[in-house]
Every structure is written in C-alpha cells, then in structure tokens.
Chains A and B, each alone.
Chain A
Amino acid sequence: MRPAAAAVLFVLGQAAPAQQITIGPQAVLASYREVVSGLRYAGFGFGGAMSVRFHKLSVDGVVTRVKLDTADGSAATQSVTATQFDAWVGYDVAPYASLEVGVIRRTADPELDAQSVGAVRLGARSFYEIGPGATILFRANYLAAPRFSGGGRAPFSLDLGLGLDVRLAGRLHGTAAYAFQRINRKTNPGGAGEIDAPIQETVGRVGLALAF
C-alpha cells in the first residue's frame, strides 16, 4: 500500500499547469427501478471521485456505495447495497467537447435482489466554463456489451450525465453530478420467449474535491 500512496503523492506533487488532478468525497442519492414500477428502491450513500486532466486527455473515476432501501409502495422486501464503479477516458476533440470511452460495473448485495451490471461506455461529453473556476458538463454514453448477473441482453442502453465543478476557494472545489441510466434489458426465462426487464437508475452526487 505504501508504494501506491507514494506514487499518488508523487503524481499530485508533479502536477503541472497543463495538468490538473481533483479528488474528493461525495454524498450520493440514488433511486433504482427494475422490471416493473413496483420494484423500486431509493437510498443514500457515499462515494469518491477522482479526475485527472493532462492537456487534451482526461481520466475520470467514480466509486459509490449506496444502501438502497425499498421505497414506499415497493414490491421489494429487502434493502440492497449497490457498489458502482464508473470510469471514463476522454479526449478533447474541440474546445468544448470530447469523445470518451469507459466502463461501468455495479454489483448488488444480496446478489440476487438486484441485477449486477457490467458494460462498456462509448460516448461524448460537452463542457463549458460558465465562470471563473466553474465548469458545467453534459454527457451521453451508450452502454455497449452489457452483462447481467441474472442473464439477458440489452440492445439499447443509455447513460446521461450532468456535472458541475465549482472552485470554492483555492484548491477546494465543490462538485455535483447527476446520472440517469436506462437499460432495456430483455430476458428469456425458461426459454419461453423474451420479456422486457428494464433497469432504470438515477444517481445524484454532491461533494467536495481538492485540486492539484
């Protein structure tokens, strides 16, 4: 662990004007629906986000852990703890736009109470500095080659995002991010024919970050 920490400190210490690293904790709000409207969860959790920018190249990573309780009127009987990892690698193709690829990996505990998902992200994002130290972001990702713990396929899956990064004072930044995910999952239980089992998740993250 020590060499990794030393490597992180080294990278942070070497940050040049052309590169910026932000890292910080986030509070997470999430709601999750699956298969039918009656199967819905909502919850609160924590996470962390890290972003590295080097000239036109950027790398973002987010880890969240949310305890999803059954919502009012939900048919679900048990809370689920969802752990999600998102990562993007972007390349600026214009002063206000970049193309990005990434991955998403969400696991649920207990495993069978909600779907665990893994997919590749392909998309683009637009960002704009609306003021000194304030950047707003909008992204749209296609989730390709999704895998589900309960099986099935998803020919159409999208992930939309809204992000905000505001420099509050010196190196301290305030961050907020919203993500909406729609996965058109189809399953074929017992070989009787495909049925729709869509998944829909919204996540809101608010936090602080230090920039180097």
Chain B
Amino acid sequence: MTSLRRLVVALLAGFVAPATALAQTVQNPTLRRAQQAYDNLEYRQVLTLAQAALRERLTGPERARAYELLGFTYGAMDSILKAVDAFKQLVLIDPERQLDPNRVSPKAYSAFDVALRQVLLVRQLRVDSTSFVGGQGAVPIRFTVTQPARVVTRAVGSEGRFLIDSSAWNGQVNLTWPARLANGDPVPAGSYTVVVDARLGQNAFAASQPVRVSHGRVDTLAHLTSLPGYEYLPETEVPPQSWRPLGLAFLYTGGAVVGTVGLESSSLGSGSKRELAVVGGAALVTGLVMTLRKPAPRPAAANILYNRLLRDQIARRNQEIAKENVARRQQVQLTVVPLPKPGAAGVR
C-alpha cells in the first residue's frame, strides 16, 4: 500500500468513525428514526419520535441523545423554554456534555447555556498531573460550578479524609491541595478520590476524580568541582629572560673585589688573589649560565590568590549543597497522577 493510499484510508476512517460510533451507541430503532428525521429537517417528526423513544427503555447515552435532539429541535422551532427544559434533562444525565458553538445554531447554544445555569452541576473536574517536594508545592484542582453554591472539596482515601477547601463558589474554580497532613508531613502514598460536593438549598451535586499519590526520593545536588565561567589559573609563570643573574653576579663579585683591594694593607703588599679569582670566576660563570638558561617558573601571586578565592568559593558552595542535601534526604517527592474515572458523577 502506498503512502498516499494509506493517507486516504486514514482520512476516510477519520470521517466515518464518529458516524459509526454514533450509530453504535444508538440502538433504539425509534431513536434512530428520530435522528434520521432530524437529519432530514422533519422537526415535527423528530418531536414525536424522540418523545416516543423516551417512553421506551433507553441506555443513558441514548436518553441523553434523545433530549439533545429535542433541545436542538425546539431551538430550531423557536420554542426556547422547551429547548431549555430538554437541555436541563440532558446535562443532568451527562453533566460533562459540551456543545460546539461552531456546529450548533446560536439559539440552541444559548438555550443550552441557560439550561446549564438553571441546574446545579460540578463540571469539568480536573486534577493535573504534578510532582513536587512535599511542603513546597501543591496539586492543582479546577472545576466549574454552574450555580452559586457552597462547595466542599475533599480528598478521600484509605489513609483518611482531607479537607481541601470549603467555600462558596460560582463559575470556574481553581484550587490547590498541598497534600500535607496537619503536622506538615506529606499525605501517605496511595489512591485518593478528589470529591467536589456542591450544595444549594435542597439541590446537591458531587463530582469526583480518582488520583494516585506516590512517594519518591528527592534528587540531591551534585557537588561542584568548578564554577561555571570561572577556571583555575596557572599558579606559576615563567618570567622573561633577563641579564639580571649576570648583573647580580657582577655586583656581588665586584663588591668582593673592591672590598679586597680597598682593604689590603699597604705594608703587607698585594696578594695574588687566586682565591678571589677562583670563587669570583665561579660566581660570574654561574651568573652567565643562569642568564642564558630558560628562567624557572616562579609563583604567580595574583593567580594563587585568585585560585584560593575560587577554591574557597567552591568549598563554601559545596558546604551549602551538603547542607541542602541533608535537608533533601529528609524530604519526600510527591507525584500525583489522575486516574481514569470508574463511573460518572451523578445527581443525588
């Protein structure tokens, strides 16, 4: 199969799949006929068939689809109140149901929006995957409350129940759960369910999201051997070649010669100076050799000081790292991952 044919097959599968899925979810023949009537814009027929289907035995999704068809149809027929009623039934069955404003009529969409605000729901409960050091982060939790209500959010697990928040909310809600016990320790590892309980008068609604909390070790920091941008400098430097050794040999030998000649006693006469010639000659030869030799490296005081400061800085930083690592070894890395919901939320 060529890649072009594969692409065409994939595109066809993409278009056909939703229709096939919808056909599979709608098994009831009356509801299927209502769907076909809606597709053919036969709205009277849709109303009759959908209401008839609702009197029959339907699955949850089928019942939701029947009310959705009724809502769309009433919207198309300008019966907004009836459309709102139908959508209220729809969201009570499927609170997570969303309409695409680009694909439904504005009348139907506004009716759906009004219906949402007339029913107390907790929708779109999301717990984000996160990982943080215990005590230094929190688990983000967000949901939408469709009516002003007292909302209690808890994490319920085998290790206990932890109150996350209890406030009056309406609309989009963003909460954080530090996942800590009262004494500051992180909550024990295990499975928890984040339960959002909204209550308004006699109406109440609850939504939940299971999560798994796991413990891990906090990574320790590696010790430094160097600082970025700073390098050790050579602690010795070769001085430039100079005549200084020979000059010094001349100076010192000259001092001995002048001293000897100057101090010689006139009454004793002048000596042969063979001793001075031997030692002075040796000094001058040594001076000449040292002048011609490559100078020996000598300590570079500034570089030595710089390296000492750098070593001190690295040692100080490593002490801080060691101290931080001691603290990190006592900490716990918390990882929170949302789990698939075992069952949908519902009206109580």
Contact = CB atoms under 8 A, between A and B. Distances in A.
B280 A180 contact: no
Contacts of B248: 128, 130, 136
Given A29-B275, A131-B245, A162 B280 contact: yes
Chain A binding surface, main DSSP class:
strand
B269 A180 contact: no
B256 A180 contact: yes
B267 to A, nearest CB: 6
A33 B252 contact: no
Contacts of A117: none
Most chain B Cβ neighbours within 10 Å, of A140, A161, A166: A166
Interface residues of B, number: 34
A49 interface: no
A148 to B, nearest CB: 16
12 contacts: A29-B274, A33-B268, A33-B271, A40-B269, A126-B252, A130-B286, A158-B259, A162-B252, A177-B279, A200-B265, A202-B275, A202-B276
B255 interface: yes
Interface in A1-53: 29-31, 33-37, 40, 42
B286 A166 contact: yes
B280 A198 contact: no
B302 interface: no
A200 B276 CA distance: 14
A211 interface: no
Given A130-B245, A130-B248, A176-B278, A160 B283 contact: no
B13 to A, nearest CB: 84
Interface string B258-270: 0110011101110
Nearest to B296: A132
Nearest to B255: A138
Given A130-B245, A162-B252, A178-B279, A198 B268 contact: yes
A182 interface: yes
A196 interface: yes
A137 B286 CA distance: 13
A54 B286 CA distance: 26
